[in-house]
Amino acid sequence: MVYSLAYVRSRVLTIEAVKVRFAPSPTGYLHVGGARTALFNWLFARKHGGAFILRIEDTDRSRHVADSLEKILDDMRWLGLHWDEGPEVGGESAPYFQSERLDIYTRHIDKLLESGRAYFALETPEELSAMRDAANAQKQTFKYRRPDPLPTVEEGRAAKAAGREVTVRFAMPENDMIVQDEVLGEVRIPREELEDFVIQKRDGWPTYHFACVVDDELMGVTHVLRGQEHLMNTPKHVAMQQAMGFRTPIYAHLSIIFNMNGSKMSKRDKEKALAKGLVPPEIDVHDFRVAGYLPEALLNFISLLGWSPGEDREQMTLEETVEAFDLSRLGSANAKFDRDKLLSFNTDWCAKLSPERLLAALKDFASVSGSKLADFDDETLAYLLRINAGYRTFRDIEAKCAFLWAVDDAIEYDAKAVRKVLQKNEGAGFSMLEHLVELLANHESWESASLEQFLTTLCEEKGVKLGAVAQPLRVALTGTTISPPIYDTLVLLGREKTLARIQRILTLKETIAQG
């Protein structure tokens, strides 16, 4: 096997310092697939004591979305994927916004032009698309054919000066390209498949390919871990590196993440579900955050997509993952995103994280989701966390506690619950409530322990199970048969509201019975 000089050199270089980057484009929220890419890069940097760079690829101003950068940075922070160089923290290779590096790209394009490895292309977009259509009409794939003779640099510059909008294309070498990949091995792409692609658009900005290659070199990137959808870009990048005398980083193309039905996970899934009136699936990191997931669980789960620590290990902390992370354990087969398994992971993380950590996470959830939970103080929130043990996401707590901020007179009663718990056995549930409203009004203390004592004694006297008391109460207080443990439910709601709600359902007894 023959390795290129650049390849060998980059190999040696990595012994000294690992440098990786995550390079999102500010076109929206951080996608869960992007988060996985970011995570793997981050893990690799941490594992080898290297640097993790965050670079913003914003060369296409038309696709720029306002607030996107802030959103991406915020979600990266939420995940705990802090960057060593990039926006807000700076670094030796600043700036980290490609939109601020135009002069650098222009300089390198000029050099390529001078050396003859790039040339001005005069076709207009209309001409190109016409050629493309013509090729398609004949069922052929359009390949850009290098003009002969080529316009000279002077001619190109003159055309540009004359107001003509020209592009610059990279002159691909005449040989097949070989990509060395850590997970796929050696990939050979036939020369016929490669064409002279555009490196400078007519607006003067570089294309992704060019900016990416220049920045990786200038920023000292040693390893490129990116999605497999980039595999066919890599030969182009390697060719440019060779033309410019750059090092070739070590590549590792990650398997792609799909939905359970095999489709690509995309924002479109959300739109489609919404159109059908369904609950939109979580696609962006932010969606999971708002849905009440823990970053610990999400990270742990996505780390296992396309990678495995082996030894049947699954649930592990980020630190353990860093320790176990290795390129050799990256998988090549695409993975499907199993939401059930994520939910299960989240449940387990909710059960094992410290109360302090859970409280902080719950507060974050409350603030980003706009939950009424945000109105409670820390003590109450910690209490809620404790009594709801067994919840799977914070949304479960939110749902189970919704009765707390419901308006007494606006509670809606679940028909099935009313029938089963209140009307059955000649209205035994209603009778129980009638009995309770009196007793509770006069009960001296309103603390959990005291109420427990009171209710269990009551059950013994009446010879019934606790359910015979608790369930009617739940329906009266929440409208459903679901609530936190009954004593806590009473305490949280308070005596006043408790009595008001019992009285209301008793008043509505006949109306409800008909409904």
Of residues 185 through 204, those in contact with RNA by CB under 7 A are 185, 187-190, 193, 197-198, 201-203
State the Cα angle at 31 between 29 and 36, rounded to 5°: 140
Task: Round to whole Å and give the CA distance between 206 and 372.
Answer: 47
What the block records as the tokens of 104 is 């650098």
Decide whether 220 or 306 has the Cβ nearer to RNA. 306
Task: Round to whole Å and give the CA distance between 469 and 3.
Answer: 77
Instruction: Single out the residue of 180, 255, 321, 346 in contact with RNA (rule: CB under 7 A).
Output: 255
Q: How distant, in Å, are the alpha carbons of 5, 7, 115, 199, 342 from that of 245?
A: 10, 12, 12, 17, 45
Q: Per CB under 7 A, does 306 bind RNA?
A: yes
User: DSSP state, 114?
Assistant: H
Instruction: Single out the residue of 82, 146, 264, 268 in contact with RNA (rule: CB under 7 A).
Output: 264
Q: Per CB under 7 A, does 346 bind RNA?
A: no
Buried b (16+ CB within 10 A) or exposed e, 292-323: bbbbbbbbbbbbbbbbebeeeeeeeebeebbe
The least CB distance from residue 459 to RNA, in Å, is 9
Residue type, 439: L
Of 468, 52, 219, 361, nearest to 211 by C-alpha is 219
Q: How distant, in Å, are the alpha carbons of 114, 161, 185, 233, 243 from that of 118?
A: 8, 18, 30, 17, 10
Decide whether 1 or 16 has the Cβ nearer to RNA. 1
Q: Per CB under 7 A, does 463 bind RNA?
A: no
Q: Which of residues 119-178 bind RNA (CB under 7 A)?
A: 123-125, 128, 132, 139, 141-144, 165, 167
Decide whether 31 or 289 has the Cβ nearer to RNA. 31
Q: Per CB under 7 A, does 33 bind RNA?
A: no
The least CB distance from residue 510 to RNA, in Å, is 25
Residue count, binding to RNA (CB under 7 A): 90
What the block records as the tokens of 395 is 């949304």
Phi-psi region of 394 (alpha: psi -120 to 50; beta: other; left: phi over 0): alpha
Instruction: Single out the residue of 106, 233, 259, 380 in contact with RNA (rule: CB under 7 A).
Output: 233
Decide whether 13 or 450 has the Cβ nearer to RNA. 450
Of 408, 406, 386, nearest to 397 by C-alpha is 386
Phi-psi region of 80 (alpha: psi -120 to 50; beta: other; left: phi over 0): left
Decide whether 13 or 428 has the Cβ nearer to RNA. 428
Q: Per CB under 7 A, does 464 bind RNA?
A: no
User: What does the DSSP assignment read for 308-324?
Assistant: --STT-----HHHHHHH
For RNA, what does the binding mask look like between residues 390 and 409, x meaning CB under 7 A? xxx---x---x---------
Decide whether 7 or 391 has the Cβ nearer to RNA. 391
111 is catalytic: no
Q: Which residue has the tokens 């990256």?
A: 330
Instruction: Single out the residue of 112, 225, 305, 492 in contact with RNA (rule: CB under 7 A).
Output: 305
Candidates 70-78, 239-247, 370-378, 389-397; binding stretch for RNA (CB under 7 A): 389-397
The least CB distance from residue 463 to RNA, in Å, is 15
The least CB distance from residue 335 to RNA, in Å, is 3
Decide whether 310 or 515 has the Cβ nearer to RNA. 310
Q: Per CB under 7 A, does 64 bind RNA?
A: no
Q: Per CB under 7 A, does 269 bind RNA?
A: no
Q: Per CB under 7 A, does 329 bind RNA?
A: yes
> At a CB cut-off of 8 Å and minimum separation 6, what does 387 contact?
484, 485, 488
Candidates 74-82, 253-261, 292-300, 503-511; binding stretch for RNA (CB under 7 A): 253-261
Of these residues, 267, 336, 363, 497, which one is catalytic?
267
Catalytic residue annotation? 267
